Amino acid sequence: MTQTAPQAVKPNVTITYCIGCNWLLRAGWMAQELLQTFQDQLGGVTLIPGDMGGVFEIRLDGDLGTQTRRRFSGCEGAENPRARPD
């Protein structure tokens, strides 16, 4: 009987977007870019329709990342998701 090494658990990304701002397309684009760039490193990306008020949050395994529209009054362009942190 052979034993296989346990598979490493890959992180999951959750993108919560404002339905009032019509940010579904932006959230979908961000998900596509993340999956294309980190395809072998991510377990998945989930899109969640959020409350009104300009919310756009990206979480990695539940931890809030730096892409938060609420902090920036909701109207700036999205940062480049392909820019890897140092």
Residues 3, 84: Cα–Cα separation, whole Å: 35
CA of residue 60 relative to chain centroid, distance: 7
Give the mean model confidence (pLDDT) for residues 60-84: 57
Residues 9, 38: Cα–Cα separation, whole Å: 14
Q: What would the pLDDT profile of 5-43 be if each residue is shown by its tens digit?
A: 667 899 999 999 999 888 999 999 999 999 999 999 999
Give the mean model confidence (pLDDT) for residues 61-84: 56
Q: Would you state the pLDDT for residue 52?
A: 78
Specify the pTM.
0.69
Q: What would the pLDDT profile of 35-58 be if each residue is shown by its tens digit?
A: 999 999 999 999 999 987 888 889
